[in-house]
Amino acid sequence: MSQFSDPDATGPMAQGVAIFGEFVENAQGVTATVAVIGKKNEPLYLRLFDEYQTKELYFQSLVFVSLDVIDECVERKAMQQDMYLGFLCPIDEYQIYGYMTNSMIKFVVVLADVHRLQDFELRDFFQKVHAAYVEYLLNPFAPLDGDKIKSARFDAAIERHVATILERPPPAPGPGAKA
């Protein structure tokens, strides 16, 4: 039924939105969710941003759906030494990008269609998040057995990278653009 939802709809949610097609109103940011998934596909970290926070379950399910795509993607890219998996799939009005380390830790972002991001920007973002994750693991108190990531420093790093790389203001709007 989600296919009936209209990505351009601006009206209240009741309009043509069902099971999956959850539309978030007034969303400003491009980044809806950043997630870290462990080796055994256990969720290690799920972070929702701004208005998207109201739909936690929905975005959580998006991330899990994307894991299947990652599996396929990995098979396809098995021969390549690239951790950046790129664009995984579109679901509803969102786009999902992925990155997987050699230790099978998956990083997933769900992006809204607010502005287009280039591949190199996402690559850069994932690399920095990966580095933040490594730094988190270097904390001797960090649990190694797949517990959820609870770290103010990791939170701050994610926020910083989201703000500086993903949420950059769209390049100078054309003269015709209306506010």
Partner 1 sequence: MSASANARLGEQIWQKMPKINAEFFTLTYGAMVVQLMRDLEDVQLVNEKLEKMGHSIGCRLIDEFLAKSGINNCNEFAETADVIAKVAFKMFLGVSVEVASWNDEKTSCSLLVYDNPLTDFVELPPNINLYYSNVLCGVIRGALEMVQLRVECYFVRDTLRGDDVNEIRLELKEHIKDEMAEEYRRE
Please give the residue ranges that form the binding site for partner 1 (CB under 8 A): 135, 138-142, 151-153
Smallest gap from Cβ 154 to partner 1, in A, equals: 9
Tokens of 120: 């190199």
User: DSSP string spanning 138-169?
Assistant: HSTTS-SSS-----HHHHHHHHHHIIIIITPP
CB of 152 to partner 1, least distance (A): 7
Task: Give the residue with the Cβ less far from partner 1, 45 or 94.
Answer: 45
Kindly report the number of other CB atoms within 10 A of residue 165's CB atom.
19
Which residue, 79 or 152, is less far from partner 1 as judged by CB? 152
CB of 143 to partner 1, least distance (A): 10
The two tokens of residue 58 are 């929905």
Taking CA atoms, 155 is separated from 33, 55, 101, 147, in Å, by 13, 19, 20, 15
Radius of gyration for the alpha carbons in the chain, expressed in angstroms and rounded? 17
Which of residues 122 and 158 has its CB atom nearest to partner 1 in the complex?
158
Distance CA 63, CA 129 (A): 17
Minimal distance, residue 142 CB to partner 1, in Å: 8
Which DSSP symbol is given to 73? Answer: H
Residue with smaller CB distance to partner 1, 124 or 135: 135
